[in-house]
Amino acid sequence: MNKVALGFLSWFAMLPLAEAIAEQVADEPQALEKVEVVAVSPLQVGGVDINKIPANVQTVSAEELQQSQALSLADYMNRYMGSVNINDAQNNPLQPDIQYRGFSASPLMGVPQGMAAYVNGVRFNEPFGDMIHWDLIPQGAIQSMALQPASNPAFGLNALGGSINIKTKTGFSSPKHQLEVQGGSWDRHSEELSTGWNNGTWGYFADFNNFSEEGWRDHSRSDAKRGFGTLSWRGNESNLDLHFAGSENELRGNGAVPEELLAFGRDKVFTHPDLTRNRLFMVSLEGDTWLNKQNQLSGTAYYRRNKMSTYNGDGSEFEDCQVGGNDFLCDGNVPLTALDGSQISENEALEGGTINTTETTQQSFGVALQNAFHHQLFGRENQLTGGASYDHSTAHYRADTQLGSLTEDRGVAPGGVYLRDSHVRLNTETNTYGVFLTDTLSVTDKLDVTVSGRYNISHLYLKDQFGDDLNGSHAFNRINPAAGLTYAFMPELTFYGNYSESTRMPTPMELSCADPAKPCKLPNAFVADPPLAQVVANTWEAGFRGDLKRLPFEGTVHWNAGFFHVINNNDIIWQSNGNVNSMGWFENVGKTQRQGAEAGLSGLFLDNRLRWSANYTYIDATYQSEFGSPNAAHPQADGNGITQVRSGNRIPGIPAHQAKFSTDYDILREWTLGFDMNYNSGQYLRGDEANLTAKIPAFVVFNLRSEYRFNQHIALFGRVNNLFDREYANFGAIGETGDVLQGLGLGENENARFVGVGAPRAAWIGVRLTL
């Protein structure tokens, strides 16, 4: 806590200097500028001037997304937004692990999810494991996105480190027709058609996208088909939008590879296949109306269904053993049991590999209602927003492990025999209620104070369909408060500071796999559910932001500099045993800390012909409690396969230093050339929570892009990723290779370093038609 106090004192010590600067320029004429309004809750109504929000909010518009030529929203965040980095744990371009200030937003089970995501006011975290599937977010339909930092309680569960709030296009915000086609390296091609129209009262918008590629690694073909549509009505005082979304995606991401396999080519995979199928259907209705000049009522209702299935080929450590004079296939000295209850005899067709399959059918519906009350309090401007929400979800989870044998290229041939211990049939039900208030009061013309709070109640039920070991019920509730202020010394210089709290409850997946005595295979076999405590985040944040205007060469610069400090209490992590079969369990490990400093600059020069931005972040992400980390694959583990994690050890997967730079220059009015740079310092590997082995090396990657506009209807564009063909990795883990690599003449490595390798240089070109 002393570090927190010191950080805030350093900021407050600068206040007199800031006041003095403000007095020197107070008499200079100020130009009126457009005010950017940011939503203060998941519902996109009743926003507040971004300058009054006591946090470093980052936003992106549809135009900025298009100009960046980013593959996805996650790709854009990684390239341009401060304090964001990617872990390529799955190594699929549509399935990255996003880290923001050290908090994860990932499509993978087993990653501690520390961010909340909303699309048009609808929660986008999956009910079963809180994952965020980036491939399901329709990028071409995005009108705007706000990355909200800190533990803002108004954004509900999982907003430990921040939240992502997305608003989509309508026929009123995007009344045009556009066709975009592009293709290039790795047989990647995409086609996107969007169309929007309105007559002043009624409108529609639709976006259809097809993406396909062979991938740059072996056995890595992916296909994604996504559609989105909106029907809109606008009245004098009211608005209605009916949204539809659907996706059918097949994504192959064959994960990290042992470092010794890289000698045979960075395109090689450890085992395959690793296939994920997502089939989404979602419909939502949102609307708002002015009850009078002071009260704006808004609400949303939705239904969402996502069927996710996985088909993963993995190595196996099961071996022959003799019991009672008979030869069986065993785990240690214990014969394996088939689904029918019989012991499995030794058979070469069942040795060396497993095929792990899952199917998760998740359905959810919910409603949210809020009122934004615009009024004066004590003669000062004030906005009070209050609301309530209810979310109901069910998940039907099926998992199986089929024994098989490895092929020459490390694929797995199915053997037709299924393991009884890995046969899971689990139904879950979750009911979550929430009420919240947030109020922003302009105490003076310079000082704005914001207070907010939310009360969450969650009930979770688990019903085992193949026995009763997984049966259970859990309840969680908590009031989370927040308070902050902004002080504008002048329009070009503002101080902000806040304190906030948020929580996330253990997911059904985590509760079903929390017994160290009975480890499960992620994401397959679940066992009895010892209780886990909910995670509570306490966040302090402070900083300055401002603008420098009337600079040489017609320049203006926006800047920000801030400090953040977050403590997670009862943090939940995945404890892996490090074996080739990826077994482990979830566990509360006490406190973790993510604190640091971030700074950003963005500028416009030469009558907006030159545009640039730069960001730097330092993140001190550490464990604050001591615990034993079980990983028999760790080279320095003790006789029980344990390494001791000490307070102050860094959390793996989070680089301490991040730096980004991007620029675009209009060489001609019709021709734009740009590039971006991304630097990450070294990071420890997952499985090395004790920080005893070498880090993944630091890296820097450059990307180039260009666009030529023949006229307002036709544009040609292209980009080159990893311009200098840098070989790097942005993810790592410690594990065993087993016998998987014997076909390459490599022996078993019990202490292997697995890395998520970055993609090599690649280029794409496309054309855009706009009417």
Q: Please write the tens of the pLDDT for every residue from 444-498.
A: 999 999 999 999 999 999 998 887 777 888 999 999 999 999 999 998 999 999 9
Q: Contact at 8 Å (CB) between 535 and 569?
A: yes
Q: Is the pLDDT of residue 19 over 50?
A: no
- 146: β partners: 59, 165
Is the pLDDT reported for residue 531 higher than 80?
Answer: no
Cα–Cα dist 640/636, whole Å = 11
**pLDDT on residue 520:** 66
Q: Tell me the average pLDDT across 356-382.
A: 94
Measured at the CA of 42, the angle between CA 75 and CA 383, to 5 degrees, comes to: 130
286-295, 439-448, 527-536, 566-575: least confidently modelled range: 527-536
Ranked by mean pLDDT, the top range of 18-32, 47-61, 740-754 is: 47-61
| Cβ neighbours of 117 (radius 10 Å) | 29
What does the pLDDT average to over 240-260?
94
Question: What does the pLDDT read at residue 516?
Answer: 72
Integer Rg of the chain from CA: 26
Judge residue 81's burial from the number of C-beta atoms within 10 Å of its C-beta, 0-12 exposed, 13-18 middle, 19 or more buried: buried
- How many CB atoms within 10 Å of residue 770? 15
Q: Are 329 and 347 spatial neighbours (Cβ–Cβ below 8 Å)?
A: yes
* Whether the Cβ atoms of residue 225 and residue 248 lie closer than 8 Å to each other: yes
Q: Is the pLDDT of residue 23 over 70?
A: no
- Percentage with pLDDT > 90 across the chain: 76
Tell me how far apart the alpha carbons of residues 396 and 695 are, in angstroms, rounded to a whole number.
Answer: 39
CATH 1.10.760.10, applies to 2-316+351-770: no
- The confidence band for 9, taking pLDDT boundaries of 50, 70 and 90, is very low
| Residue 26 pLDDT class (50, 70, 90 cuts) | very low
**For residue 179, what are its two tokens?**
């066709």
pLDDT given for residue 626 in this prediction: 95
**Residue 63 burial class via C-beta count within 10 angstroms: exposed 0-12, middle 13-18, buried 19 and up:** exposed
**With 90 as the cut, is the pLDDT of residue 517 above it?**
no
412-425 pLDDT tens trace: 999 999 999 889 89
- pLDDT tens for each residue of 85-128: 999 988 999 999 999 999 999 998 878 899 999 999 999 999 98
Query: What are the Cα distances from residue 25, in Å, to 30, 548, 550, 671?
Result: 10, 12, 12, 38
pLDDT of residue 508: 81
Distances (CA, A) of 418 to 330, 357, 424: 14, 11, 11
Confidence of residue 698 (pLDDT cuts 50, 70, 90): very high
Other CB atoms closer than 10 Å to residue 485's CB: what's the count? 19
Query: What's the rounded mean pLDDT across residues 68-93?
Result: 95
SS3 142: strand
Rounded Cα distance between 254 and 258, Å, is: 12
Say how many C-beta atoms besides its own lie within 10 A of residue 261's C-beta.
23
3-state secondary structure of 533: coil
Contact between 734 and 254 under an 8 Å Cβ cutoff? The reply is no
Tell me, what's the pLDDT at 14? Answer: 46
Burial class for 435, CB neighbours closer than 10 Å (0-12, 13-18, 19+): middle
Q: Burial code of 543-562, b = ≥16 C-beta within 10 A, e = fewer?
A: bbbbeebeeeeebebbbbbb
**CB 512: neighbour CB atoms within 10 A?**
26
Average pLDDT over residues 549-565: 95
Domain boundaries, the chain: 2-316+351-770, 317-350
Predicted local distance difference test score (pLDDT) of residue 392:
98
Q: What share of the chain is helix, strand, coil (3-state, %, to 5)?
A: 10, 55, 35
162 burial via Cβ count (<10 Å: 0-12, 13-18, 19+): buried
The structure tokens listed for 656 are: 């301490």
**Closest by Cα among 767, 769, 768, 759 to 185:** 759
Q: What is the pTM of this model?
A: 0.93
Average pLDDT over residues 577-596: 78
Query: Is the distance from CB of 452 to CB of 437 less than 8 angstroms?
Result: yes
Beta-carbon contacts of residue 164 (< 8 Å; ≥ 6 apart): 105, 115, 116, 117, 118, 124, 132, 145, 146, 147, 148
- Closest Cα partner for 83 from 20, 161, 31, 171? 161
CA 750 to mean position of chain CA atoms? 31
Evaluate if residue 129 carries a pLDDT over 80. yes
pLDDT digits (tens, 9 = 90+) for 157-186: 999 999 999 999 999 999 999 999 999 999
From 591, 734, 708, select the one nearest 653 (Cα to Cα): 734
